[in-house]
Chains A and B, each alone.
Chain A
Amino acid sequence: MESLQSIKSRLRAVKNIGKITKTMEVVAATKMRRAQEVALASRNYSWESLKLLLKMTANSPKISPLTEERKINSTLIVVISSDRGMAGSFNAQIFKAVDKFMRKVVGGLSPDYKFKFFPIGKKSISYCRKNGFMAEDVVSGIGDVISVDTARTISAEVIAGFTDKKWDRVVTISANFRTTLVQDVLIRQILPLSLDSITETIIEIVPEYGRYSDVERVNLKEMMTKNIDYIFEPSSDVLLDELIPHLIKMQFYHLMLEANASEHSARRVAMKSASDNASDVSNSLERQYNKARQSGITKELIEITSTQSALQ
Protein backbone atom coordinates (compact mmCIF):
# COMPACT_ATOMS: atom_id res chain seq x y z
CA MET A 1 0.00 0.00 0.00
CA GLU A 2 1.06 3.55 -0.78
CA SER A 3 2.60 5.44 2.09
CA LEU A 4 0.58 7.94 4.08
CA GLN A 5 2.97 10.70 3.11
CA SER A 6 2.63 10.28 -0.64
CA ILE A 7 -1.17 9.95 -0.51
CA LYS A 8 -1.32 13.10 1.53
CA SER A 9 0.78 15.09 -0.92
CA ARG A 10 -1.28 13.83 -3.85
CA LEU A 11 -4.46 14.77 -2.02
CA ARG A 12 -3.14 18.25 -1.42
CA ALA A 13 -2.19 18.66 -5.09
CA VAL A 14 -5.61 17.50 -6.31
CA LYS A 15 -7.39 19.81 -3.92
CA ASN A 16 -5.31 22.75 -5.11
CA ILE A 17 -6.09 21.95 -8.73
CA GLY A 18 -9.74 21.73 -7.80
CA LYS A 19 -9.59 25.18 -6.26
CA ILE A 20 -7.96 26.65 -9.33
CA THR A 21 -10.43 25.10 -11.76
CA LYS A 22 -13.30 26.17 -9.57
CA THR A 23 -12.07 29.76 -9.67
CA MET A 24 -11.56 29.59 -13.41
CA GLU A 25 -15.06 28.25 -13.77
CA VAL A 26 -16.54 31.17 -11.88
CA VAL A 27 -14.47 33.69 -13.85
CA ALA A 28 -15.41 32.04 -17.15
CA ALA A 29 -19.07 31.98 -16.13
CA THR A 30 -19.09 35.73 -15.54
CA LYS A 31 -17.25 36.46 -18.76
CA MET A 32 -19.47 34.02 -20.60
CA ARG A 33 -22.61 35.81 -19.55
CA ARG A 34 -21.31 39.14 -20.77
CA ALA A 35 -19.87 37.77 -24.00
CA GLN A 36 -23.10 35.96 -24.79
CA GLU A 37 -25.11 39.09 -24.18
CA VAL A 38 -22.96 41.14 -26.52
CA ALA A 39 -22.92 38.46 -29.19
CA LEU A 40 -26.66 37.96 -29.11
CA ALA A 41 -27.38 41.70 -29.08
CA SER A 42 -25.27 42.21 -32.18
CA ARG A 43 -26.94 39.38 -34.05
CA ASN A 44 -29.88 41.51 -35.15
CA TYR A 45 -27.60 44.13 -36.54
CA SER A 46 -25.36 41.72 -38.35
CA TRP A 47 -28.35 39.87 -39.73
CA GLU A 48 -29.88 43.06 -41.13
CA SER A 49 -26.56 44.24 -42.48
CA LEU A 50 -26.08 40.96 -44.31
CA LYS A 51 -29.55 41.27 -45.77
CA LEU A 52 -28.68 44.76 -46.93
CA LEU A 53 -25.51 43.40 -48.46
CA LEU A 54 -27.57 40.76 -50.23
CA LYS A 55 -29.97 43.36 -51.59
CA MET A 56 -27.13 45.60 -52.68
CA THR A 57 -25.42 42.76 -54.48
CA ALA A 58 -28.65 41.63 -56.10
CA ASN A 59 -30.05 44.99 -57.17
CA SER A 60 -27.16 47.34 -57.74
CA PRO A 61 -26.59 48.37 -61.35
CA LYS A 62 -22.87 48.54 -60.72
CA ILE A 63 -20.76 45.55 -59.79
CA SER A 64 -18.30 45.91 -56.97
CA PRO A 65 -14.80 44.51 -57.60
CA LEU A 66 -15.30 42.49 -54.42
CA THR A 67 -17.93 40.34 -56.08
CA GLU A 68 -15.63 39.35 -58.92
CA GLU A 69 -15.19 35.60 -59.14
CA ARG A 70 -11.92 34.69 -60.73
CA LYS A 71 -9.92 31.52 -61.03
CA ILE A 72 -8.92 30.58 -57.52
CA ASN A 73 -5.18 30.16 -57.22
CA SER A 74 -4.91 30.92 -53.57
CA THR A 75 -7.23 31.00 -50.62
CA LEU A 76 -6.79 33.06 -47.51
CA ILE A 77 -7.94 31.18 -44.44
CA VAL A 78 -8.75 33.37 -41.46
CA VAL A 79 -8.59 31.15 -38.41
CA ILE A 80 -10.20 32.64 -35.33
CA SER A 81 -9.24 30.92 -32.09
CA SER A 82 -8.79 31.93 -28.50
CA ASP A 83 -5.71 33.43 -26.91
CA ARG A 84 -5.67 31.04 -23.99
CA GLY A 85 -6.16 27.34 -23.60
CA MET A 86 -7.99 25.43 -20.89
CA ALA A 87 -11.18 25.53 -22.88
CA GLY A 88 -11.62 21.84 -23.56
CA SER A 89 -11.65 20.90 -27.21
CA PHE A 90 -12.60 24.42 -28.31
CA ASN A 91 -9.45 25.21 -30.28
CA ALA A 92 -8.78 21.63 -31.34
CA GLN A 93 -12.18 21.55 -33.01
CA ILE A 94 -11.36 24.63 -35.04
CA PHE A 95 -8.00 23.29 -36.16
CA LYS A 96 -9.55 19.99 -37.10
CA ALA A 97 -11.97 21.87 -39.31
CA VAL A 98 -9.06 23.74 -40.91
CA ASP A 99 -7.28 20.47 -41.70
CA LYS A 100 -10.44 18.98 -43.11
CA PHE A 101 -11.16 22.05 -45.20
CA MET A 102 -7.67 21.99 -46.70
CA ARG A 103 -7.81 18.29 -47.49
CA LYS A 104 -11.15 18.73 -49.21
CA VAL A 105 -10.02 21.68 -51.30
CA VAL A 106 -6.66 20.18 -52.25
CA GLY A 107 -8.16 17.10 -53.90
CA GLY A 108 -8.03 17.59 -57.68
CA LEU A 109 -6.27 20.92 -57.72
CA SER A 110 -3.20 22.20 -59.46
CA PRO A 111 0.05 21.92 -57.50
CA ASP A 112 0.64 25.67 -57.49
CA TYR A 113 -2.54 26.18 -55.51
CA LYS A 114 -1.69 28.08 -52.35
CA PHE A 115 -3.20 28.48 -48.95
CA LYS A 116 -2.49 31.61 -47.04
CA PHE A 117 -3.22 32.12 -43.40
CA PHE A 118 -4.40 34.91 -41.20
CA PRO A 119 -4.49 33.57 -37.66
CA ILE A 120 -6.42 35.52 -35.05
CA GLY A 121 -5.70 34.51 -31.46
CA LYS A 122 -2.48 33.13 -29.97
CA LYS A 123 -3.57 29.51 -30.24
CA SER A 124 -4.06 29.69 -33.97
CA ILE A 125 -0.78 31.54 -34.40
CA SER A 126 1.05 28.68 -32.73
CA TYR A 127 -1.00 26.18 -34.73
CA CYS A 128 0.17 27.82 -37.96
CA ARG A 129 3.75 27.89 -36.77
CA LYS A 130 3.65 24.25 -35.75
CA ASN A 131 2.34 23.16 -39.13
CA GLY A 132 4.72 25.38 -41.04
CA PHE A 133 2.01 27.56 -42.53
CA MET A 134 3.14 31.02 -43.47
CA ALA A 135 0.98 33.64 -41.84
CA GLU A 136 0.25 36.79 -43.82
CA ASP A 137 -0.40 38.74 -40.69
CA VAL A 138 -1.39 37.92 -37.16
CA VAL A 139 -3.71 39.44 -34.64
CA SER A 140 -3.77 38.43 -31.02
CA GLY A 141 -4.67 39.75 -27.64
CA ILE A 142 -8.13 40.81 -28.68
CA GLY A 143 -9.27 39.78 -25.26
CA ASP A 144 -12.79 40.19 -24.08
CA VAL A 145 -13.29 43.73 -25.24
CA ILE A 146 -13.36 43.43 -28.98
CA SER A 147 -13.27 46.81 -30.63
CA VAL A 148 -14.66 47.69 -34.00
CA ASP A 149 -11.24 49.15 -34.79
CA THR A 150 -9.65 45.72 -34.64
CA ALA A 151 -12.28 44.47 -37.05
CA ARG A 152 -11.58 47.45 -39.29
CA THR A 153 -7.85 46.69 -39.48
CA ILE A 154 -8.50 43.04 -40.24
CA SER A 155 -11.14 43.65 -42.87
CA ALA A 156 -9.12 46.43 -44.53
CA GLU A 157 -6.16 44.10 -44.92
CA VAL A 158 -8.26 41.22 -46.16
CA ILE A 159 -10.01 43.42 -48.72
CA ALA A 160 -6.77 45.04 -49.87
CA GLY A 161 -5.18 41.64 -50.45
CA PHE A 162 -8.20 40.55 -52.44
CA THR A 163 -8.17 43.59 -54.71
CA ASP A 164 -4.38 43.28 -55.16
CA LYS A 165 -4.91 39.65 -56.19
CA LYS A 166 -2.78 38.32 -53.36
CA TRP A 167 -5.58 35.87 -52.77
CA ASP A 168 -8.66 35.01 -54.79
CA ARG A 169 -10.88 33.81 -52.04
CA VAL A 170 -11.25 34.48 -48.33
CA VAL A 171 -12.80 32.06 -45.91
CA THR A 172 -13.08 32.26 -42.16
CA ILE A 173 -13.07 29.28 -39.87
CA SER A 174 -14.36 30.05 -36.42
CA ALA A 175 -16.68 28.95 -33.67
CA ASN A 176 -20.32 29.86 -33.79
CA PHE A 177 -22.16 30.20 -30.53
CA ARG A 178 -25.41 28.27 -30.30
CA THR A 179 -25.88 27.45 -26.67
CA THR A 180 -23.62 27.22 -23.66
CA LEU A 181 -23.17 23.54 -24.33
CA VAL A 182 -23.10 23.60 -28.12
CA GLN A 183 -20.72 25.55 -30.31
CA ASP A 184 -20.14 24.55 -33.88
CA VAL A 185 -17.31 25.39 -36.17
CA LEU A 186 -18.40 27.35 -39.19
CA ILE A 187 -16.61 27.85 -42.45
CA ARG A 188 -17.73 31.03 -44.14
CA GLN A 189 -16.75 32.51 -47.43
CA ILE A 190 -16.26 36.24 -47.03
CA LEU A 191 -14.85 37.10 -50.44
CA PRO A 192 -15.69 37.12 -53.29
CA LEU A 193 -19.14 38.20 -52.27
CA SER A 194 -21.67 35.93 -53.82
CA LEU A 195 -25.39 35.75 -53.34
CA ASP A 196 -25.14 32.13 -52.32
CA SER A 197 -22.49 32.62 -49.67
CA ILE A 198 -24.29 35.60 -48.11
CA THR A 199 -27.57 33.69 -48.05
CA GLU A 200 -25.84 30.79 -46.37
CA THR A 201 -24.37 33.05 -43.72
CA ILE A 202 -27.73 34.64 -43.01
CA ILE A 203 -29.34 31.25 -42.65
CA GLU A 204 -26.69 30.31 -40.12
CA ILE A 205 -27.43 33.39 -38.04
CA VAL A 206 -31.20 33.01 -38.17
CA PRO A 207 -32.44 31.08 -35.16
CA GLU A 208 -33.16 27.46 -35.92
CA TYR A 209 -36.35 27.57 -33.94
CA GLY A 210 -38.45 30.24 -32.29
CA ARG A 211 -40.68 32.86 -33.69
CA TYR A 212 -38.49 34.28 -36.46
CA SER A 213 -37.21 31.03 -37.85
CA ASP A 214 -39.69 30.30 -40.71
CA VAL A 215 -40.60 33.87 -41.53
CA GLU A 216 -37.08 34.90 -42.31
CA ARG A 217 -36.34 31.92 -44.46
CA VAL A 218 -39.36 32.66 -46.66
CA ASN A 219 -38.41 36.33 -46.89
CA LEU A 220 -34.95 35.39 -47.92
CA LYS A 221 -36.17 33.42 -50.90
CA GLU A 222 -38.37 36.31 -51.90
CA MET A 223 -35.44 38.62 -51.66
CA MET A 224 -33.32 36.47 -53.89
CA THR A 225 -35.88 36.27 -56.65
CA LYS A 226 -37.49 39.69 -56.54
CA ASN A 227 -35.82 42.75 -57.98
CA ILE A 228 -36.51 45.90 -56.03
CA ASP A 229 -36.09 49.15 -57.89
CA TYR A 230 -33.99 50.98 -55.31
CA ILE A 231 -32.91 54.58 -55.47
CA PHE A 232 -29.27 54.78 -54.48
CA GLU A 233 -28.21 58.01 -52.91
CA PRO A 234 -25.82 59.76 -53.49
CA SER A 235 -24.96 57.14 -56.15
CA SER A 236 -24.54 53.41 -56.33
CA ASP A 237 -20.76 53.85 -56.78
CA VAL A 238 -20.35 55.81 -53.58
CA LEU A 239 -22.61 53.45 -51.69
CA LEU A 240 -20.84 50.33 -52.91
CA ASP A 241 -17.49 51.79 -51.92
CA GLU A 242 -18.73 52.65 -48.51
CA LEU A 243 -21.29 50.04 -47.67
CA ILE A 244 -19.55 46.86 -48.71
CA PRO A 245 -16.31 47.39 -46.74
CA HIS A 246 -18.43 48.48 -43.80
CA LEU A 247 -20.54 45.35 -43.96
CA ILE A 248 -17.51 43.10 -44.29
CA LYS A 249 -16.00 44.81 -41.29
CA MET A 250 -19.17 44.15 -39.34
CA GLN A 251 -19.10 40.55 -40.41
CA PHE A 252 -15.61 40.15 -38.96
CA TYR A 253 -16.65 41.97 -35.82
CA HIS A 254 -19.62 39.72 -35.38
CA LEU A 255 -17.52 36.61 -36.01
CA MET A 256 -15.12 37.63 -33.28
CA LEU A 257 -17.95 38.26 -30.84
CA GLU A 258 -19.39 34.84 -31.56
CA ALA A 259 -15.98 33.25 -31.16
CA ASN A 260 -15.50 35.03 -27.84
CA ALA A 261 -18.87 33.91 -26.52
CA SER A 262 -18.11 30.35 -27.62
CA GLU A 263 -14.68 30.41 -26.01
CA HIS A 264 -15.97 31.41 -22.61
CA SER A 265 -18.83 28.93 -22.80
CA ALA A 266 -16.43 26.14 -23.74
CA ARG A 267 -14.06 27.10 -20.94
CA ARG A 268 -16.84 27.24 -18.43
CA VAL A 269 -18.04 23.77 -19.33
CA ALA A 270 -14.49 22.39 -19.40
CA MET A 271 -13.65 23.90 -16.03
CA LYS A 272 -16.89 22.65 -14.55
CA SER A 273 -16.07 19.08 -15.49
CA ALA A 274 -12.48 19.56 -14.32
CA SER A 275 -13.59 20.67 -10.87
CA ASP A 276 -16.09 17.83 -10.74
CA ASN A 277 -13.31 15.40 -11.58
CA ALA A 278 -11.01 16.97 -9.00
CA SER A 279 -13.59 16.53 -6.26
CA ASP A 280 -14.15 12.90 -7.33
CA VAL A 281 -10.43 12.15 -7.24
CA SER A 282 -9.95 13.91 -3.92
CA ASN A 283 -12.81 11.92 -2.42
CA SER A 284 -11.32 8.62 -3.44
CA LEU A 285 -7.85 9.73 -2.31
CA GLU A 286 -9.26 10.72 1.04
CA ARG A 287 -10.79 7.28 1.40
CA GLN A 288 -7.47 5.69 0.49
CA TYR A 289 -5.70 7.90 3.00
CA ASN A 290 -8.08 6.94 5.79
CA LYS A 291 -7.72 3.27 4.94
CA ALA A 292 -3.94 3.53 5.00
CA ARG A 293 -4.04 5.38 8.32
CA GLN A 294 -6.40 2.80 9.80
CA SER A 295 -4.30 -0.12 8.65
CA GLY A 296 -1.22 1.56 10.12
CA ILE A 297 -2.95 1.84 13.48
CA THR A 298 -4.08 -1.76 13.33
CA LYS A 299 -0.55 -2.86 12.51
CA GLU A 300 0.88 -0.97 15.45
CA LEU A 301 -1.74 -2.40 17.79
CA ILE A 302 -0.92 -5.92 16.64
CA GLU A 303 2.74 -5.25 17.23
CA ILE A 304 2.12 -3.94 20.74
CA THR A 305 -0.14 -6.81 21.75
CA SER A 306 2.16 -9.44 20.29
CA THR A 307 5.24 -8.01 22.06
CA GLN A 308 3.28 -7.96 25.24
CA SER A 309 2.16 -11.59 24.90
CA ALA A 310 5.75 -12.61 24.07
CA LEU A 311 7.01 -10.92 27.22
CA GLN A 312 4.58 -12.79 29.48
Chain B
Amino acid sequence: MYLRILSLRGVQYEGEVAGLSVKTLSGEITVLNNHRPLITSLKKGTAHIITSGGERKPIEISSGFLEKDANNKLNLLVD
Protein backbone atom coordinates (compact mmCIF):
# COMPACT_ATOMS: atom_id res chain seq x y z
CA MET B 1 0.00 0.00 0.00
CA TYR B 2 1.39 3.38 -0.96
CA LEU B 3 1.12 6.05 1.72
CA ARG B 4 1.42 9.80 1.27
CA ILE B 5 1.07 12.20 4.16
CA LEU B 6 0.69 15.78 2.99
CA SER B 7 0.58 18.98 4.94
CA LEU B 8 0.74 22.61 3.90
CA ARG B 9 4.45 22.54 4.51
CA GLY B 10 4.92 19.82 1.94
CA VAL B 11 5.09 16.05 1.83
CA GLN B 12 5.62 14.65 5.33
CA TYR B 13 5.85 10.99 4.42
CA GLU B 14 5.83 9.07 1.21
CA GLY B 15 6.44 5.39 0.63
CA GLU B 16 5.31 1.80 0.62
CA VAL B 17 3.87 0.67 3.97
CA ALA B 18 2.15 -2.40 5.39
CA GLY B 19 -0.45 -0.49 7.36
CA LEU B 20 -1.42 2.61 9.23
CA SER B 21 -3.26 2.98 12.51
CA VAL B 22 -4.87 6.28 13.09
CA LYS B 23 -7.49 7.88 15.33
CA THR B 24 -10.64 8.91 13.51
CA LEU B 25 -13.87 10.52 14.63
CA SER B 26 -15.43 7.08 15.01
CA GLY B 27 -12.53 5.46 16.85
CA GLU B 28 -9.08 4.18 16.14
CA ILE B 29 -8.70 2.20 12.94
CA THR B 30 -5.92 0.36 11.20
CA VAL B 31 -5.84 0.48 7.43
CA LEU B 32 -4.12 -2.51 5.89
CA ASN B 33 -3.30 -3.49 2.36
CA ASN B 34 -6.27 -3.54 -0.03
CA HIS B 35 -8.63 -1.91 2.38
CA ARG B 36 -11.92 -0.86 0.87
CA PRO B 37 -12.06 2.73 -0.42
CA LEU B 38 -12.64 4.95 2.59
CA ILE B 39 -12.91 8.63 3.38
CA THR B 40 -12.81 9.68 6.98
CA SER B 41 -11.96 12.55 9.25
CA LEU B 42 -9.01 12.36 11.64
CA LYS B 43 -8.81 13.23 15.29
CA LYS B 44 -5.92 14.64 17.28
CA GLY B 45 -3.53 11.93 18.34
CA THR B 46 -0.59 9.84 17.36
CA ALA B 47 -0.79 7.78 14.22
CA HIS B 48 1.47 4.81 13.63
CA ILE B 49 2.91 3.88 10.30
CA ILE B 50 3.57 0.14 10.10
CA THR B 51 6.41 -0.49 7.70
CA SER B 52 6.75 -3.71 5.73
CA GLY B 53 9.38 -4.83 8.25
CA GLY B 54 6.81 -4.61 11.03
CA GLU B 55 8.24 -1.48 12.62
CA ARG B 56 5.90 1.14 14.03
CA LYS B 57 6.73 4.73 13.30
CA PRO B 58 4.80 7.34 15.29
CA ILE B 59 3.58 10.55 13.70
CA GLU B 60 1.66 13.35 15.44
CA ILE B 61 -1.59 14.48 13.90
CA SER B 62 -3.74 17.38 15.03
CA SER B 63 -6.54 17.03 12.51
CA GLY B 64 -7.06 16.14 8.91
CA PHE B 65 -8.61 13.71 6.48
CA LEU B 66 -7.82 10.23 5.26
CA GLU B 67 -8.61 8.84 1.89
CA LYS B 68 -8.03 5.30 0.68
CA ASP B 69 -8.69 4.97 -3.02
CA ALA B 70 -9.37 1.98 -5.23
CA ASN B 71 -5.77 1.71 -6.46
CA ASN B 72 -4.38 0.75 -3.06
CA LYS B 73 -3.20 4.29 -2.37
CA LEU B 74 -3.62 5.95 0.97
CA ASN B 75 -3.62 9.73 1.20
CA LEU B 76 -3.55 11.68 4.43
CA LEU B 77 -4.17 15.40 4.43
CA VAL B 78 -3.08 16.77 7.77
CA ASP B 79 -2.96 20.25 9.24
Is the pairing of A and B real?
yes
- Assess whether A4 is interfacial by the CB under 8 Å rule: no
How many residues in B have their beta carbons less than 8 Å from beta carbons of A?
A: 23
Q: What secondary structure prevails in chain B residues at the interface with A?
A: strand
Q: What secondary structure prevails in chain A residues at the interface with B?
A: helix
Which residues of the partner chain A approach B11 to less than 8 Å between Cβ atoms? Answer: 44
- Assess whether A133 is interfacial by the CB under 8 Å rule: no
Binary interface encoding of chain A residues 14-48 relative to chain B, with 1 for a CB under 8 A from any of its CBs, else 0 = 00000000000000000000000000011011001
- Residues of A226-241 at the interface with B, using a CB-CB cut-off of 8 Å, are 226, 228-234, 238-239
If the complex has contacts A44-B6, A52-B77, A228-B37, are A233 and B26 also in contact, measured as CB distance less than 8 A?
yes
Partner of B39, one of A41, A52, A226: A52
Contact A238 B41 (CB under 8 A): yes
Complex CA gap A233/B6 in Å reads 20
Contact A242 B41 (CB under 8 A): yes
Complex CA gap A253/B9 in Å reads 13
Complex CA gap A45/B64 in Å reads 11
Binary interface encoding of chain B residues 20-43 relative to chain A, with 1 for a CB under 8 A from any of its CBs, else 0 = 000011100000000011111100
Partner of B6, one of A48, A56, A148, A238: A48
Which residues of the partner chain B approach A243 to less than 8 Å between Cβ atoms? Answer: 39, 41, 65
Contact A231 B38 (CB under 8 A): yes
- Assess whether A49 is interfacial by the CB under 8 Å rule: yes
Complex CA gap A9/B6 in Å reads 57
Binary interface encoding of chain A residues 201-225 relative to chain B, with 1 for a CB under 8 A from any of its CBs, else 0 = 0000000000000000000000000
Which residues of the partner chain B approach A228 to less than 8 Å between Cβ atoms? Answer: 37, 69-70
Contact A52 B37 (CB under 8 A): no
Complex CA gap A206/B15 in Å reads 21
- Assess whether B72 is interfacial by the CB under 8 Å rule: no
Contact B10 A231 (CB under 8 A): no
Contact A229 B37 (CB under 8 A): yes
Contact B10 A41 (CB under 8 A): yes
- Assess whether A55 is interfacial by the CB under 8 Å rule: yes
Complex CA gap A312/B42 in Å reads 106
Which of A49, A56, A253 has the most B CB atoms < 10 Å from its CB?
Answer: A49
Which of B7, B37, B39, B41 has the most A CB atoms < 10 Å from its CB?
Answer: B39
Which residues of the partner chain A approach B70 to less than 8 Å between Cβ atoms? Answer: 226, 228
Where the two chains meet, the residues of B that have a C-beta atom closer than 8 Å to any C-beta of A are 4, 6-11, 24-26, 36-41, 65, 67, 69-70, 75, 77, 79
Question: What would be 7 A-B contacts, judged by CB atoms less than 8 Å apart?
Answer: A45-B6, A55-B39, A56-B39, A148-B8, A230-B37, A233-B24, A246-B65
